[in-house]
Structure 1
Amino acid sequence: MIAAIIPAHDAAGRVEHAVTSLHRQTRPPERILVMSDGSTDATVDVALQAGAEVLLTVDNRHHRAGALNQALGTVRMEADDLVLLLDPDVQLPPGFLARALTALEDRNVGAVSARAAAAGGVAALIRWRALEDVHRSFGRYCDEGPVTGQMRLALDLEAVGWRLCTPLEAEQDAAPVIPVELLRDARAQPAAA
C-alpha cells in the first residue's frame, strides 16, 4: 500500500492540485491524507472535495515537521508499505509513482524523491520500514529542530543504514510538473494579441 501525506497550512489554493495529481498517477496511492496544520482557510473543505482524507494537528508548534510526525504517528501501516510525503505546492507527473516503485525494487533503497527544482517542492516515496528505523533510532520520524525537511530526513535514513535513490527527473513524463504559482501567474497574464 502507498499512503500519501500532504502537510498543509492555509493551502486551500494549492492542495486541490496536489491531490488531483495523485489521483492521476498511473499507479495511484491507496490513501491520500491531508494533514491540516491549524488552517484557517478552506484547506479542509478543498481537500475533502478533491477526494482526500483529512487529519487535523493537535497543539503543533513545529510546523511541517510536527504535522508530519503527528500524521506518521497516527496512520497504521504494514512493514512493506510506502509513504509518499508531498508538499501541497507539488503536482507530480502521472508516472512518478510508477518510476519510484521501480527504483525501490532494490531492497536496500529506503527512499526516492523527485528532483526539488523539477517538482516545485518536496516529494519523496519512503519505505515505512525505513521510517520506523528512523523513529526507533531518533524517537521521531522528522526532526523538529532548526535543520528540518527532506535533507534532514535523508541524512537520518542514511544514518540508520538505508541507501537513497538519485532523485527522479520529473520531465521524463509527457506532462511536465508546473509549480502552482507559475500556473496562477500564467492565468493572470492577458493573452498576447
Structure 2
Amino acid sequence: MDAIVRSAPAPAPARRVVRACELAVIIPAHNEADAIAGTLDALAWQTAVPRRFIVVADNCTDATGPIAAAHGADVMVTEGNRDRKAGALNQALASLGGAAPRFVLVLDADTRLAPEFIDAALRTLTADDALGAVSGLVVGEQPGRMLQQFQADDHVRYGTHIRATGRVSVVTGTASMFRTAALRDVAGQRGATLPGQRGDVYDRAAIIEDSELTLALKTCGWGLVAPEQCVWTTELTPTWGGLHSQRVRW
C-alpha cells in the first residue's frame, strides 16, 4: 500500500516588533466594546507588530477601556472633549509630546488590518520623504443583507478608482499611516494658511475630519498614496437610517 504523503504546512510569516520610537497606533473609540477586541487582535498578527498602541476612550459609557487594556493597549481617556473624533485625536496626538514617533497609524475601532498593512505602509513612507501619508484599500465585511452588499460594492469601486488613477481622494480615518513631520506641518499652519486652531492637527469644525486633513496635507505639499498591500476590512452599516446618517455626513 502506498504511503500517504502529506505536504508540510506553510511556515508562518516572519514577524518583527516595531519600536515605539518608530510607530505609535492611535485608535479613537466611542462605545466600541463589541468591536475593539477584534481590532487589537488583528494588530497582534501583523507581520510588523507595533510595540505601542493607544486606545482613546472618548466619552465612553461601556467597557471599551477595560477590554482594550486587557488586550494590551494603553488606554487614554479624553478630557472634556466636545469636538467629536477630531477632538479626541488632537488630544491623543498632543499627549505624544516631544517623544512622538516617526510615524503614526490612525485606526478606527471597528477596522481589521490585513497582516501586511503596517509593514507595507512603513516601507512606503521610509522610501519616499515627500510622502505625508499612506492610506489603502477597504474591503467590506461579509454582507449579511442587500443593503450591506451595496456598501461593499462601493468599496470595490473606490479601490478600482485608486488602481486606475493612482489618486487618493481621501486619506481615510478608517486606517491611514502618517509621517509625524507632516502632521506637525499641518498643525503649525492652522489658523494661517489652513483653517482651524494653531497646534491642532485635525480641524475641530470639520464634520468629515479625514477629508479635511487630506486637503490640508495636499495644501502643505505632501504626497499621498494607497499601496495595493495596504488592505483592511470594515463593518458595514446594517440599517437604512444608519447608512443615511453616514452618507449625509460624508
> Does residue 1:110 correspond to 2:132, yes or no?
yes
Of 125, 131, 155, the match for 2:177: 125
Whole-Å separation in 2 of the counterparts to 1:49 and 1:169: 29
Query: Which stretch has the larger CA shift, 147-156 or 57-66?
Result: 147-156
Whole-Å separation in 1 of the counterparts to 2:130 and 2:82: 34
Percentage of identical aligned residues: 37
> Does residue 1:22 correspond to 2:43, yes or no?
yes
Q: Does the residue aligned with 1:48 lie in a helix, a strand or coil?
A: helix
How many residue pairs get matched? Answer: 177
Asked which structure has the greater CA Rg, the reply is 2
Distance 1:168 1:153, change over 3 A: farther
Whole-Å separation in 1 of the counterparts to 2:181 and 2:214: 14
Which amino acid in 1 is paired with 2:221?
A: G
The offset of 1:118, in angstroms, is: 5.6
Consecutive unaligned residues of structure 2, counting only runs of 5 or more, are: 1-21, 142-154, 156-172, 191-197, 238-250
Of 139, 142, 163, the match for 2:223: 163
The offset of 1:17, in angstroms, is: 1.1
- Give RMSD over aligned pairs: 2.2
Determine the structure 1 residue equivalent to 2:234: 179
Distance 1:168 1:67, change over 3 A: farther
Distance 1:108 1:97, change over 3 A: same
Judge conservation of contact 2:31–2:61 (CA < 8 Å) in 1: yes
Determine the structure 2 residue equivalent to 1:144: 204
Which amino acid in 2 is paired with 1:156?
A: A
Determine the structure 2 residue equivalent to 1:174: none
Of 209, 214, 220, the match for 1:154: 214
Judge conservation of contact 2:42–2:113 (CA < 8 Å) in 1: yes
Consecutive unaligned residues of structure 1, counting only runs of 5 or more, are: 172-176, 183-193
Judge conservation of contact 2:133–2:223 (CA < 8 Å) in 1: yes
TM (norm. structure 2) is 0.65
> Does residue 1:36 correspond to 2:57, yes or no?
yes
Which amino acid in 2 is paired with 1:91?
A: R
**1:75-114 residue pairs with structure 2 within 5 A?**
75-76=96-97, 81-104=102-125, 105-114=127-136
Which amino acid in 2 is paired with 1:114?
A: G
Q: Does the residue aligned with 1:72 lie in a helix, a strand or coil?
A: helix
